Structure 1
Amino acid sequence: MSSYIRVLHASPDAPAVDVYANNTALARNLSYRNFTEYLQVPAGTYNLRVFPAGTMTNPVIDTTIEIPDRSIFTVAAKGRLADIGLLLVPDTPGTVPQGMINIRFVHLSPNAPNVDITLPDGTILFSNVPYQGITEYSTISPGTYTLQAREAGTNNIILNVPNQTFAPNRFYTAYAVGLVGETPPLQLLTPLDGNSYIRV
């Protein structure tokens, strides 16, 4: 049976990269903040190597990952270039309550504190999420939201993201990327997850 993976470049100071799995290119010239499409792959063990785009020597990542049968994953390159690594984010198959959305949060900002993800009125969607933390999905109504990242346990807003629109009957992940007080700045990426439309 097949599985599906996509690659996210979330290393804030790394150049564009080429990504190879068992010497087959998964991504070419993938730049910061960008995702590949989901790629269908056989389940199994993969040697994953990441190179600065256009090169095939001195990989910045050289590691082995296991892709289970009938699974969907986002493979995120994370951390600053000096300590770059991979985080596997499973897009767990499931169902969304009719007319609602499922959303979760992944913390990929290497210099940000633990955060609460809130609404402007202080409603907490996800609390005390550390760097590299992956929350469970939470069910909310579809619509357009302003999302805020606050230093955990405080009202100190470190990121305010208006006009985030989420359509019903879908899965989303909000990925925090970038750096607090540095360049590139802290941002939120809110792509549609593969479990919204891929059946495995």
Structure 2
Amino acid sequence: MFYCPYQNFMREAVPKALPTYYRLLNAMPDAPAIDVYINGKLTASNLRYANFTNYFQTPGGIYEIKVYPAGKKTPILIETNLQLMPNSIHTIAAVPNGDGSLLPILEPLSGPTPGYSMVRFAHLSSEAPAVDIILPDGKILFSDVEFKEVTGYIPVPAGNYTIQAKISETNNIILIVPNIKLQPNKIYTVYVVGKPQGTPPLQVLIPLDGSTYLRDDHIGY
């Protein structure tokens, strides 16, 4: 399954003086839709599995974050403090680690290599082993990526791709995703979520990263 919520065209590089932005992702396949409170304020309501919020702007600092089932104040699914540095962009993923935890994923401020797509991989499936991300011809894009690991970016020519997730050091392919369209001058993170066996199944989420998405929507400028 292939999900790509943001498809816009990048106009120019992000300026250096960028406020702090973050968005939230519900990557907990066994959890209900969630409400997220930050410093006691309801920030995201009824955030369903495999969905992102838009980006929020905030000053840098330490934030108290509590996650509940949507519409309820009990039980607390996640309770933690996170530091968001000034002049940064994050995706904060609620991931299935024990009872649940938050994984802040830093995004770049700068634009991509001109004429190329920039791509990285984030492993957010707690039940999946370490994987290699490969092309159908066997070329390895990312190797031995473990749960909660986020790779570095690689530049790839824009175009349509089929990617496969293969259990590392085996020939066992656990996910095939065809027809991924990567546009030039854009930055993507490929998030893998779900379960290799059971429901909901493994799938990828491929949103634009903040330095592309925020510029396209003129947020904060």
State TM-score, norm by structure 2. Answer: 0.87
Does residue 145 in structure 1 map to residue 161 in structure 2? yes
Deviation at 1:196, TM superposition (A): 1.4
Q: 1:160 aligns with which of 169, 176, 191?
A: 176
Distance 1:55 1:62 in 2: 15
Q: Which 4+ stretches in 1 moved above 2 angstroms?
A: 197-200
Distance 2:190 2:41 in 1: 29
> Aligned to 1:196, what secondary structure does the other structure show?
helix
Structure 1 counterpart of 2:56? 39
Structure 1 counterpart of 2:12? none
Deviations 1:8-61 (A, max 9, x none): 000010000000110122210000000000111111110000000001233111
Distance 1:127 1:95 in 2: 25
1:30-69 matches, within 5 Å, as 30-69=47-86
Q: 1:135 aligns with which of 138, 148, 151?
A: 151
> Aligned to 1:198, what secondary structure does the other structure show?
helix
Structure 2 counterpart of 1:182? 198
Does residue 78 in structure 1 map to residue 95 in structure 2? yes
Deviations 1:71-95 (A, max 9, x none): 0000000016x52111110012123
Deviations 1:165-189 (A, max 9, x none): 1111011000010001111101111
Deviations 1:142-176 (A, max 9, x none): 11100110011222110000011111101100001
Distance 1:189 1:198 in 2: 18
Letter in 2 for 1:174: V
Letter in 2 for 1:157: I
Structure 2 counterpart of 1:9? 26
The alignment's C-alpha RMSD in Å is 1.4
Distance 2:155 2:171 in 1: 23
> Aligned to 1:15, what secondary structure does the other structure show?
coil
> Aligned to 1:7, what secondary structure does the other structure show?
strand
> Aligned to 1:83, what secondary structure does the other structure show?
coil
State TM-score, norm by structure 1. Answer: 0.95
Structure 2: runs of 5 or more not aligned: 1-17
Say if 2:115 and 2:184, in contact at 8 Å, map to a contact too: yes
Letter in 2 for 1:20: Y
Letter in 2 for 1:149: A
Structure 1: runs of 5 or more not aligned: none
Q: Which moved more, 1:57-66 or 1:105-114?
A: 57-66
Structure 2 counterpart of 1:172? 188
